[in-house]
Amino acid sequence: MISKGAITSADGDFDPVFFSSLNYDFNESAASGFFSNFGNSISRSYSANQGLRSNLRSGGNVEFRINEGYDNESYLDDTQSNTSMSLSFTQPLLRGAFSMVATANERKAHITHDSDLLSVTQASVDGVQSVVDAYWNLSFALADLEVKKQSLLLAENLRDITVAKYDVGAVAKVEVTQTRADIASRQDAVLIAQNSVATNHDALRRLISAFDNQDDWQIDFNLVSEVPPATAVVNDWKTLWDQALENRSDIQKLQLDVDSAQIDFDVAQSNMSPKLDFNATGTYSAQDNQVGSSLDRLFDRDSPGYTFGLVFELPISNSQYVGAKIQANNRLLLAKRILRDQSTDLAQQIRQALHDVNYYSERVTVTAHASNMAQLKLESEQLRLREGASTNYQVLQFQADLAVAQSQQLQTQTEYAKALVKLDTVQGNVPTF
Show me where the domains of the chain are located. 16-92+275-313, 107-258+334-425
Q: What is the pLDDT of residue 34?
A: 62
- Round the CA-based radius of gyration of the chain to a whole number and report it: 43
Task: Give the Å distances, CA to CA, from 177 to 162, 172, 392.
Answer: 10, 9, 10
For the chain, percent helix, then strand, then coil, each to nearest 5?
65, 20, 20
What is the CATH code for 107-258+334-425? Answer: 1.20.1600.10
Q: pLDDT tens-digit profile of 281-336?
A: 999 999 888 888 888 888 888 889 999 999 999 988 889 999 999 999 999 999 99
Residues of the chain with pLDDT under 70: 31-40, 73-77, 432-433
Q: What is the pLDDT of residue 93?
A: 95
Q: pLDDT tens-digit profile of 58-82?
A: 999 999 999 999 887 655 567 789 9
CB 416 within 8 Å of CB 367: no
Question: Pairing state of beta strands 17-29 and 304-313?
Answer: unpaired
At residue 306, the 3 state secondary structure works out as strand
- 307 - beta bridge partners? 281
CB 109 within 8 Å of CB 412: no
Sign of CA dihedral 313, 319, 324, 330: positive
Global pTM reads 0.80
Q: What is the pLDDT of residue 205?
A: 94
CA distance from start to end of the chain:
30
Q: What is the pLDDT of residue 234?
A: 84
CA 429, 432, 433 angle in degrees (round to 5)? 145
Separation between Cα atoms, residue 381 and residue 369, nearest integer Å = 18
